[in-house]
Each structure stands twice: as structure tokens, then as C-alpha cells.
Structure 1
Amino acid sequence: MGEYEKALADIDLIRSRMAASTTFRGFGPAALAATGGIALIVAGVQTAMLAEPMREPGLFFAGWIVAAVIAVLLIGAEVIVRARRHHGGLADAMIHNAIGQFLPAGAAGLALAAILGRFAPDAVWALPGLWQILVSLGLFAAAPSLPRGSLLAAGWYFLAGCAVLMLAAQGPTLSPWMMGLPFAVGQMILAAVVFRGPGDAHVG
């Protein structure tokens, strides 16, 4: 490796270390709160349209997958704008670091859905609770680079996921509100934490 390549590698290493030790300010309260609202809307629509979700799990989960995609797009767009505003030249490294922290939990959620849907369709009632627990693990993993209050949201998702698993197992059943309420509350907690974070009270 030449001197030029070594210098570039050293710069990348420094950027990565700085990104890992800096509070990420790319998440904004507006998008986070909006995703909580989306969760409530989907829960309301499914309550009106799906009398027995366990008989139509494909429609049930299709609605939540669409909601998740919209949420990712909303949050992702705001992350790009805010990260460039708050982190300047470190923006790309900060975004990559944030994605790396949440990616394992997201991949695990997709894998669980595929495995249960293909090999254990009678157990899909467990997915809402498992997804909430995975969100909590993603937040705990990202906690060092998020505002301190994000641990409240991580704790909420973990407890809600456990509660949903216990409630759903009694049927077993799928309930739109066992998805909608925990995610709405969790996202609102995150939105409040970000809004009250240092330097964020005056931005959208």
C-alpha cells in the first residue's frame, strides 16, 4: 500500500471512530412522530377491514410491511437532510454507522417472518411481539450514539414485545392494536427524546 492509500485509510479510520463516538443527530422528531401516527392509522384500518386477522395473516402483515417501508423512507429522507446539516463532513460516516447498528435487528425480523410464514404459519401470532423486541435490541445497540433518553424507548419496546407475546399466545391471535399501540407509543417516545435533545428544540 502506497503512502497515499495509507493516508486515505487512516482518514477513513479516524472518521469511523469519530462517528462511533459522536451522538447521532440525524433522526428528527417530525418523521418519528409521523411513523407513530402511521401505526395508529394502519391499526384502525385493519380493525375495520379484518374481522379475523389469523385467518388472513398475509393481508395483516402486508399492511404492516407497507407501513414499515413508508416509515423507513420518511425517516431515511429526514436522516440524510439532518445528518448533513448537523454533522457536515462526517454525515456519511454517521449514517453508515447508524445503519450498521440497526441492520442486524432488521435482518433478523425479515428472517423470522420468512421462516415462520414458510415453515410454521400457525406461529405467526408471535411475530408482532418478536418484532418489537428486535426493535428494542436495535435501539439498545445504537444507544451509545443516540440521545440518552432513547433507552426509555428501547425499554418500552422490550416490555411491550414481551407483553404482546404473552397476550397473543392466549388465543393465539393477531391484533392490529398489538402492533399499532406499541409502535405508536415507542415512536412518540423517540420523537420526544429527539425533540428535547441538545440543540434540537428549535428544529423540525
Structure 2
Amino acid sequence: MRDLDKALADIIAIRSQLAAGTAFAGYGPAAIFATAFVALITAGAQYAWLDDPTHHPLAFLFGWAIAAGLSALMIFTEMVARSRRRHHSGLADAMIHQAVEQFLPSAVAGVLLAFVLWKFAAESLWLLPGLWQVLVSLGVFASVRTLPRSVALAGAWYFVAGFTVLLIASQTHELSPWTMGLPFVIGQSLMATIIYFASGVSDVEG
């Protein structure tokens, strides 16, 4: 029984090593591009219906939490479908786990950061849009080794945009739907474009 457990552990280790050295083709440009529209719609809706985001931070954060959850669900659903349909066959589960693992620290940090600022330093919530964008850039950079290297351009965009938003927001200490929305519209569109041309196939073909 011990030999069987060791053999299974070795197989899992080998699969993980193969997954780590294989370019991940699970991300679909269509789903990523759709998340840009989610960001645009969210920013537009908050601009139209949320009179003063700075004085209604929970409504602002809740709106973007819904947008982030919807975007993550769209990307994950297509990622699973593409990976298991034909792109990674037997390595699909290992590749999906690796992709989630690469982004998870940044996502968890973003959630915890929002909670801590809201609970203990509400006057500093204006920092969140810029900090979230910096965290996304770290998630993108963490994924570069299994994605087309040009994806680093999207990571660089989020990094620069995040600090630019921090500088802009530092002048007023106000929350704005557009300093949150526009960087993600541009960043997700850039990411989708890079992945589309790097893969050489569309979602329909993939």
C-alpha cells in the first residue's frame, strides 16, 4: 500500500512538473475582452447612479466586488472548457490549478486589503483602486512563465496605471468610478488582444 501511495505521489509530481513547463492555453480572449465591458458598464452605472462614491464607499466596493466576481466566473468557465476540450487534455486539471494558484495570492490580498481599510482606516479607501491595479499587475507577472511573454505588457500597464491612479487620487482623496474602470477596460482589452494574436487562433477555432 505504501508503494502504491508513493507511485501515485510520483505521478502527481510529474504531472505538476509537466504543467509548470507547458504554456497555458486555457485563457480565452473572448472572455477576457468581455470583462473589459463589465468594467466599462460598472463604471458607467456608478457614474450615473452613485452620486458621491467617496461618501458611499460600501456601494462603490460592492459594485466592483460584483464586477470582479462576474469577471472571474467568466474567465474561469471558459478556462475550464478550453483546457479540457482540447488544449491540455490529460494535464487540464493540473494546468487549471496552476493558473488559479498564480493569481490567488493577489486576489486574496485585494479582498483582505479592502476589508482592513474599510474596517480600520475608512479615510484611506481612496487608495484601493490604485492598489488593486498594482495587485493585478503582480498576478499577471506571476503568470508570465506559462503565458505568452508579451502578456508582461499588460502587467506593466496595470503597474503603471495603479501608481498613476494613486497619484491622481492623492490630490482629492476621493473615489471615482473612472479611475477604477478605465484602467481595467484598457488592461483587459490589451490582455485579450495579446493572447489572441499570440495564440494565433480565435475562441471559435480553439
TM-score interval for Structure 1 and Structure 2 normalised by the shorter chain: over 0.9
Shift of 1:31: 0.5
The equivalent of 1:34 in structure 2 is 34
Shift of 1:4: 1.6
Shift of 1:199: 4.4
- Look up the equivalent residue of 2:34 and give its one-letter code: A
Rounded to whole Å, the distance in 2 between the matches of 1:198 and 1:174 is 37
- Look up the equivalent residue of 2:126 and give its one-letter code: W
Q: Secondary structure at the match of 2:199?
A: coil
Rounded to whole Å, the distance in 2 between the matches of 1:193 and 1:78 is 17
- Look up the equivalent residue of 2:65 and give its one-letter code: I
Q: Secondary structure at the match of 2:88?
A: helix
- Look up the equivalent residue of 1:113 and give its one-letter code: A
Q: Secondary structure at the match of 2:16?
A: helix
The equivalent of 1:18 in structure 2 is 18
The equivalent of 1:86 in structure 2 is 87
Contact 1:194 1:200 in 2 (8 A): no
Rounded to whole Å, the distance in 2 between the matches of 1:198 and 1:32 is 14
Rounded to whole Å, the distance in 2 between the matches of 1:198 and 1:28 is 10
Deviations 1:47-80 (A, max 9, x none): 1112211011111111100001110110110000
The equivalent of 1:62 in structure 2 is 62
- Look up the equivalent residue of 2:24 and give its one-letter code: F
Shift of 1:200: 2.6
Q: CA RMSD in A?
A: 1.2
Alignment of 1:1-204 (within 5 A): 2-84=2-84, 85-201=86-202, 203=205
Deviations 1:102-150 (A, max 9, x none): 1110110011001000000000000000000000001111110111111
Rounded to whole Å, the distance in 2 between the matches of 1:200 and 1:91 is 19
Contact 1:36 1:187 in 2 (8 A): yes
- Look up the equivalent residue of 2:187 and give its one-letter code: G
Rounded to whole Å, the distance in 1 between the matches of 2:51 and 2:105 is 34
Structure 2 stretches lacking a partner, 5+ long: none
Deviations 1:145-196 (A, max 9, x none): 1111110100000000000001011001111011110001110111011111
Q: Secondary structure at the match of 1:149?
A: helix
Q: Secondary structure at the match of 2:24?
A: coil
Shift of 1:3: 2.0
Rounded to whole Å, the distance in 2 between the matches of 1:50 and 1:203 is 41
Structure 1 stretches lacking a partner, 5+ long: none
Shift of 1:7: 1.3
Contact 1:131 1:161 in 2 (8 A): yes
- Look up the equivalent residue of 1:191 and give its one-letter code: A
Q: Secondary structure at the match of 1:67?
A: helix
Deviations 1:74-104 (A, max 9, x none): 0110000011120000000000011111111
